[in-house]
C-alpha cells in the first residue's frame, strides 16, 4: 500500500492538541496528584469530535470525518451524583457510551474502511484529573475498537488486544471544555492478507472532542479541585 506522506501530514495538521502518552487503564492517580471535582454533578454530557479523527497503524492512515459519544439509556455519559462527583485522591471517572466513527477513508485508492466499537469485555471510561494542565485518560476495553479495511487490501486492526488499555491527554477548559489527543499511542493487533503490516503493534489517534452538558446546555462541564469538607 502506498500512503502519501504529504497527505498524511496535512490530515494530522487539521487537529490541535497536546502530546499524549500511553497509560495503563487502571483508574487512579499518580503519587501526589491533587483531588478532583467534576460538575455539574448528575448532569449528562456529550463528546463530539470538533474535526476529523486520524488513525495511523503502520502504513495504514485512516481519517474519520465524524465521531461522537452521546448519552443514551442507562447511566453512560453521566457525571456521578453526590460524593462520587469528587475524589480527594485523584481523578473522577465517567463511564461513556462506546464512541462511533463515521465516514472513514484512507488516502490510498481502492480501500474501504469500517470502524466498530463495543463494550463486550468491559466499559469505555474517561478519567478526568484536575491540574495545570488537567488531564483526561481514555480507557478502551479489550477488543473494544476494531478497524477493518476491504477492497485492494483486507486488514483488521484490533485495539487493546490483550486487555484494557488507555491513553492520557489534556483536558482543556478555557474556550470550551474539550479532550485533546495528539498521536496518542494505542496497542493494536493487525491481521489479514499477506500485505498487511502484521508486525505493527501500536497505532496512534489524533482528535479533539468537544464536551457539552446535554442536561443544561447553559452550564459548562468543569473540572476543578476537590475541596475538603
Q: Is the pLDDT of residue 105 over 70?
A: yes
Residue 51 DSSP symbol = S
Q: pLDDT digits over 142-170, tens only? A: 999 999 999 888 999 999 999 999 988 89
- CA geometry: angle at 84 spanning 72 and 74, to 5°? 15
28 and 87 Cβ atoms separated by less than 8 Å: no
For strand 100-106 and strand 86-87, is the pairing parallel, antiparallel, or unpaired? Answer: unpaired
Instruction: Return the beta strands (E) in the chain as ranges.
Output: 21-23, 36-39, 45-49, 53-57, 60-69, 86-87, 92-96, 100-106, 111-117, 124-129, 134-140, 145-151, 155-159, 165-172, 178-192, 202-213, 222-224
Q: pLDDT digits over 49-90, tens only? A: 999 999 998 777 999 999 999 998 889 999 999 899 999 999
Q: What is the mean pLDDT of residues 198-220?
A: 96
- What is the model's pLDDT at position 228? 63
- What is the model's pLDDT at position 85? 95
- What is the model's pLDDT at position 206? 94
**Phi, psi (deg, nearest 5) at residue 66:** -145, 145
Which one is predicted more confidently, 156 or 12? Answer: 156
190 and 58 Cβ atoms separated by less than 8 Å: yes
Please list the residues that pair with 38 across neighbouring strands: 223
**Residue 109 CA: distances (Å) to CA of 103, 149, 205:** 15, 12, 21
Instruction: Return the beta strands (E) in 97-144 as ranges.
Output: 100-106, 111-117, 124-129, 134-140
Q: Is the pLDDT of residue 6 over 70?
A: no
What is the value of pTM for the model shown? 0.83
Radius of gyration of the chain (CA): 18
Which range (95-104, 194-203, 205-214) has the least confidence?
194-203
Please list the residues that pair with 185 across neighbouring strands: 204
Amino acid at each position: 500500500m502506498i500512503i502519501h506522506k504529504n497527505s498524511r501530514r496535512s490530515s494530522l495538521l487539521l487537529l490541535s492538541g497536546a502530546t499524549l502518552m500511553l497509560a495503563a487503564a487502571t483508574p487512579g492517580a499518580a503519587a501526589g496528584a491533587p483531588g478532583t471535582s467534576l460538575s455539574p454533578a448528575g448532569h449528562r454530557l456529550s463528546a463530539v469530535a470538533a474535526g476529523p479523527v486520524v488513525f495511523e497503524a503502520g502504513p495504514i492512515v485512516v481519517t474519520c470525518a465524524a465521531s461522537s459519544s452521546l448519552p443514551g439509556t442507562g447511566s453512560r455519559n453521566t457525571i456521578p451524583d453526590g460524593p462520587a462527583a469528587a475524589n480527594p485522591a485523584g481523578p473522577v471517572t465517567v463511564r461513556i457510551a462506546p464512541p462511533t466513527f463515521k465516514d472513514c477513508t484512507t488516502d490510498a485508492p481502492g480501500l474501504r474502511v469500517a470502524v466498530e466499537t463495543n463494550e463486550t469485555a468491559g466499559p469505555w471510561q474517561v478519567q478526568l484529573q484536575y491540574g495545570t494542565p488537567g488531564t483526561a485518560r481514555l480507557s478502551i476495553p479489550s477488543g473494544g475498537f476494531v478497524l477493518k479495511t476491504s477492497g485492494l487490501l483486507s486488514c483488521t486492526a484490533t485495539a487493546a488486544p490483550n486487555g484494557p488499555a488507555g491513553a492520557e491527554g489534556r483536558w482543556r477548559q478555557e474556550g470550551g471544555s474539550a479532550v485533546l489527543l495528539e498521536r496518542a499511542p494505542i496497542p493494536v493487533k493487525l491481521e489479514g492478507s499477506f500485505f498487511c503490516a502484521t508486525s505493527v503493534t501500536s497505532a496512534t489517534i489524533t482528535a479533539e472532542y468537544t464536551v457539552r452538558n446535554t442536561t443544561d446546555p447553559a452550564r459548562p462541564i468543569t473540572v476543578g479541585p476537590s475541596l475538603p469538607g
